[in-house]
Amino acid sequence: RDFSPRQKRYPTPDWLTINKDLKQHKHLTLQLVFDEMREKVAEPYYSYSHFCRAYREWVGKQRLSMRQHHKGGEKLFVDYCGPTLTITCPTTQETRTAQVFVAVLGASNYTYAEATYSQQLEDWVMSHARCFAFLGGVPELVIPDNLKSAVSKPCRYEPDLNPTYHQLAEYYNVAVIPARPYKPKDKSKAEVGVQIVERWIMARLRKQTFYSLAHLNQEIAKLLDVMNNKVMKQYQQSRKQLFEMVDKSALKPLPEKPYHYTQIKTVRVHIDYHVEIEKHYYSVPYQWVKKQLRAHITNQ
């Protein structure tokens, strides 16, 4: 169905710009966009209902993230790639696998990726901290998968976050909403981002030999920069351009002080009113004997 104006002297709306404006400005409505456009052209013009149908049809053709729409600075999707990369010890030639962490902003598709030695809690949490530093700000929401390092008790509606991960979220003032099990649309951005990193970065590194994690991450960063600056046919702009236009100004500022990893674990107070943490003993008030406490452990 053709929704273009019948009279040629009326310009076809720039749907791409309109869509970007709606993402960038949270309170902007189609009604206001329509009113502003009518002021620029002579009567008659589109009816408002005609204008809305035309916009919806254009959006439907774009296939934007399985028809999900994301506001600037709103959502960051995080996950790990399935394949791994290999790091070789230069002296013994022993090899060690490295996991690849991926984060994708919902509105711009701007992507961050880095390698770590594991998907364990400390690597998982610190990858978030480095990602926020890379972005220069913090989104409203982080959407992880139900990874063990993220979620202590998976649940379709109210999963329990790992206490250490929860503490990171509080430090950065960001909400964490894990993707629901068996709901692929919840994490479609992450899955697409992971596929692109696997094909665009990991595939190019498959024949190279890396002798340290730092060396591997240097090469990932180079390819990531190229990938983020590559023009996407679907949007007619690069991830970096869309980030600068839509996401960057909408991100919340970083905390004044850098984040330091804090492990949170449950400990039980012994009869001598001491708790044991990593083979060290610490005294607590005697009234807490036999109670369970949460210990915050840092390297500071």
Helices (H), the chain: 15-24, 30-38, 48-62, 121-135, 163-172, 188-197, 203-205, 213-229, 239-242
List pLDDT tens digits, range 69-124: 688 899 999 999 999 999 998 889 999 999 999 999 999 999 999 999 999 999 99
Please tell me the distance from the alpha carbon of residue 228 to that of residue 110, in angstroms, as a whole number: 6
Please tell me the distance from the alpha carbon of residue 95 to that of residue 182, in angstroms, as a whole number: 35
List pLDDT tens digits, range 34-53: 888 877 776 656 678 888 88
Tell whether 255 is covered by a domain: no
Residues 188 and 57 in one domain: no
Query: SS3 breakdown of the chain: % helix, strand, coil, rounded to 5?
Result: 40, 20, 40
Terminal CA-CA length for the chain: 64
Backbone angles phi, psi at 145, to 5 degrees: -75, 175
List pLDDT tens digits, range 202-223: 999 988 999 999 999 999 999 9
Residues 122 and 239 in one domain: yes
Tell whether 223 is covered by a domain: yes
Q: What pLDDT band is residue 146 in, cutting at 50, 70 and 90?
A: low
Q: What CATH number has the domain bearing residue 232?
A: 3.30.420.10
Residues 27 and 92 in one domain: no
Residues 269 and 137 in one domain: no
Q: What pLDDT band is residue 62 in, cutting at 50, 70 and 90?
A: low
Residues 176 and 227 in one domain: yes
Tell whether 293 is covered by a domain: yes
Domain that holds residue 27: 15-62
Residues 86 and 228 in one domain: yes
- Cβ atoms of 176 and 144 within 8 Å: the answer is yes
What tokens were used for 47?
């009816």
Residues 177 and 50 in one domain: no
Cβ neighbors of 70 (< 8 A, separation 6 or more) are 23, 105, 106, 107, 189
0.75 exceeded by pTM:
no
Q: At what angle do helices 15-24 and 48-62 cross, to 10 degrees?
A: 90
Q: In 3D, which of 134, 79, 136 has the Cα closest to residue 102?
A: 79
The length of the chain in residues reads 300
Cβ neighbors of 220 (< 8 A, separation 6 or more) are 100, 113, 114, 115, 201, 205
Domain stop point among 6, 35, 62: 62
**Per the structure, how many domains does the chain have?**
3
Angstrom distances, CA of residue 135 to CA of 60, 180, 210: 29, 26, 26
176, amino acid identity: V
Residues 170 and 22 in one domain: no
Tell whether 140 is covered by a domain: yes
List pLDDT tens digits, range 176-194: 988 755 454 545 777 888 9
CB atoms within 10 A of CB 122: 15
Residues 277 and 172 in one domain: no
Residues 100 and 190 in one domain: yes
Quick one: CA dihedral 54, 56, 62, 63, positive or negative?
negative
DSSP state of 162: P
Tell whether 9 is covered by a domain: no
Tell whether 67 is covered by a domain: no
Residues 268 and 246 in one domain: no
Tell whether 10 is covered by a domain: no
What tokens were used for 132?
């926020």
Residues 45 and 101 in one domain: no
Tell whether 286 is covered by a domain: yes
